[in-house]
Structure 1
Amino acid sequence: MTLREPQATADTLSSSRLGEGTATERELSRQPDVWREAGRIVADRREALDAFLAPLLAAPDLRIVLTGAGSSAFVGEVAAPALSRRLHRRIEAVATTDLVSDPAGRLAEDVPTLLVSFARSGDSPESLAATETADRVLRDVHHLVITCAAEGRLARVHADRPRSFVLLTPERSNDEGFAMTSSFTSMLLSVLLVLLGDDEQVVGAVADAGAQVLDARARIEALAARAPERIVFLGSGPLAGIARESALKVLELTAGGIDTYFDSALGFRHGPKAVVDGATLVVVYASADPYTSRYDDDIARELRAAIGDDAVLTVRASGGGEADWVLRGLDGLDDGWLAVPFVLVGQLLALTASVNAGVPTDNPFPGGAVNRVVQGVTIHPLED
């Protein structure tokens, strides 16, 4: 099977907004405004944040661990390499699901640690268990909680602890829909601003780029109208995290109806490229780093030669050719910042594919096979 030609033109598609009226579409579409609000929140709390963080960051042996579950874990996967590049210090992304199930392996070194926890609701079983596990295993641990829900268990438990700081993202970022959209990007933007410093111009550029994606959603709708059987997302460095997040969004919102894969530009050739055929759509998130982007361009060229220009979309911040989608106004920004507007491409693909498949986008699993807040997890007691 090969990708079919879209049944509507871009001009026709631009007159409507697929998914309109759903919470998911509403939350996805208002993200640029929510990002500006998130920037203001971090700026307003800067004095308190610095008072909490400065003594910790002054320690040369401080380990920073970014943690969360599912999409919240992928926030850390984007932010860790992005922050390490800029701060030149030890920053790791470890999912709460790994930290809770394997504390001896994930927290093997008892060194001063800042555990940065990301959570949309803060009510997933592993969210609080991860912080409690760290407190049990480590002698010197502080907690920065970045969450969308003031009423969540994670925020409430850590609200008044002297070794904890709770930063709430905008209230509107606490998505009602099944999929994390605004919550993912708001937490990602917030942690970058917290640790790299407030920058109103950067927030504005990122928000403007997000608006560019939303204004050109007809391009995404045309790609989804080609009815791919599988969608592959590729990215290098920090952008590997949004490749993974984008793949999860499509998988979730189509209720598993479209197979998805993610990998790095180099890693994809080592076996996973076997999934590529005429029914595959590939999205490559191209790095802004001149060296790293060479590998992204290499795989994009190779795949275009194999399955055609129309089946490969490269998203980038500058340069590129006619087949690329270039977001303007992002020149000079690192990949961590680019990840915020770039991931809207994956979110829109997921939304459009969900609508086209007739899946109830706000609740793709009405039978409860998969839940908005994970259920059924037993947290086993940790022995001394």
Structure 2
Amino acid sequence: MTTHTAAPAQQDGGATILEIAQQPDAWREVAGRSDEQAATFLADVLARPDLRVILTGAGSSAFAGDIAAPALRRHLNRRVDSIATTDIVAGPLDHLEPGTPTLLVSFARSGNSPESLATTALADQFVDQVWHLVLTCDRDGKLGRAHLGRDHSLVVYMPERTNDSGFAMTSSLTSMLLSCLTLLGGARPKDIEALARGAEHLIGLQDDIRVLAQAGKQRFVYLGSGPLQGLAQESALKLLELTAGEVVTYFDSPLGFRHGPKSVLDADTLAVVYVSTDPYTRRYDLDIVAELGAQLGAENVRVISTEPAPAESGTTVVIPGLDGLSDSLVALPYLVFAQYLALFTSLAHAKTPDNPFPSGEVSRVVRGVTIYPMDGRR
């Protein structure tokens, strides 16, 4: 792993803090690109009325699919499933449908994870008609190289700087997610500019987030509805990764949390609730915010929202300028909050965010996975 020397102002945030802060400009770069080849490829594939879309990846890349899928279902008006590569590899016949024409969208920072390569190979083996859209950050990665020049494949590379050198996926994840929402979900340049400005607003609040991280909480609960549940899962993973497992993290939906998982709460818990932009869903989110505020105290609840929430329930971080955008889109600037909280909590635990596992127990690119061949049965 590359070693970075942090400037004093970064306070040992290394490459990770820089990769978080570069996201608004990286998103603008994604928005500014014009790819006629991609447009033609996808128009031909999406013209098929019986097409199924599968969004796939592992870890954070899988959560990108969870965040994007609802927006794609609405925009494309067709079946869109988010299925992790780890699930497809372990049970391909549970997830792949031979007779259903399928567009497999792969999210892969490096494209070197064994499951990423195996999933596209299994789709080729078991699906009669399959097309591949590979979203990746590494031009030298195995997945991208394997699909370059193939008739039924399209490889879209993210801006070079988003191939994060830090341990955790930050700008790589959001750039791939944004590319997916642009190519398949109808995200417009003006939407992306609003998201970039929202992220810049959060970047300006990083000192406040650092203070929050230094409070020394040992349990963190993230809640979100619909696409924001995928965001909650990514937030929990980010914090778990960067603290090398020294804090307890949990995620759920606001409604699901009451059905047993609420047992995780104690006096040492910080709860983060991502509030939906949908007026109907928002009511359920605000109900759990009020309930958490009553149980934990408002000072131990953070509400991330595009508009103000009742002050007595918790401290609200309002991200302006996002009116009318879907939850799949606002998840992007919401993620910046989660990334900073994970980074600064990592530093508070005396970890090195760029490499929280110096002994290699957990690696940046997964190693040690044996991929077993599948026979021809269906």
Query: Hey, which bits of structure 1, 4+ residues long, moved more than 3 A?
Result: 16-21
Q: Pick one of 20, 23, 28 that aligns with 2:20.
A: 28
Aligned 8 A contact 2:273 2:304 in 1: yes
Matched, 1:383 2:375: yes
Matched, 1:337 2:326: no
Work out the number of aligned pairs and report it.
Answer: 366
Aligned equivalent of 1:123 = 112
Aligned equivalent of 1:253 = 242
Letter paired with 1:32: P
Matched, 1:90 2:82: no
How far is the alpha carbon of 1:225 from its aligned partner? 1.5
Question: Separation in 2 of the partners of 1:50 and 1:33?
Answer: 23
Flag structure 1 segments of 5+ consecutive residues without an equivalent: 1-15
Aligned 8 A contact 2:54 2:104 in 1: yes
SS of 1:378's equivalent in the other structure is coil
How far is the alpha carbon of 1:369 from its aligned partner? 0.5
Q: Pick one of 111, 130, 142 that aligns with 2:100.
A: 111
Question: Separation in 1 of the partners of 2:180 and 2:241?
Answer: 25
Aligned equivalent of 1:283 = 272
After TM superposition, list the pairs within 5 Å mapping 1:70-89 onto structure 2. 70-89=59-78
SS of 2:372's equivalent in the other structure is coil
Q: Pick one of 218, 230, 240 that aligns with 2:229.
A: 240
Per-residue CA distance 1:213-270 (angstroms, 9 max, x = gap):
1101122112111111110000001111110000000000000011100001111111
Per-residue CA distance 1:62-118 (angstroms, 9 max, x = gap):
000000011011110100112213332210000000011100101145300000000
Aligned 8 A contact 2:227 2:327 in 1: yes
Aligned equivalent of 2:4 = none
After TM superposition, list the pairs within 5 Å mapping 1:254-273 onto structure 2. 254-273=243-262
Aligned equivalent of 1:362 = 354
Aligned 8 A contact 1:110 1:137 in 2: no
Letter paired with 1:68: G
Question: Separation in 2 of the partners of 1:33 and 1:242?
Answer: 21
CA RMSD of aligned residues (A): 1.2
Letter paired with 2:55: L
Aligned equivalent of 1:9 = none
Per-residue CA distance 1:10-44 (angstroms, 9 max, x = gap):
xxxxxx85545501111111111111111123xx1
Aligned 8 A contact 2:13 2:353 in 1: no
Aligned 8 A contact 2:163 2:172 in 1: yes
Question: Separation in 1 of the partners of 2:55 and 2:215?
Answer: 37
Aligned equivalent of 1:163 = 152
How far is the alpha carbon of 1:325 from its aligned partner? 1.1
Aligned 8 A contact 1:210 1:341 in 2: yes
Q: Pick one of 339, 344, 350 that aligns with 1:347.
A: 339
Question: Separation in 2 of the partners of 1:198 and 1:70?
Answer: 24
Aligned 8 A contact 1:121 1:148 in 2: yes
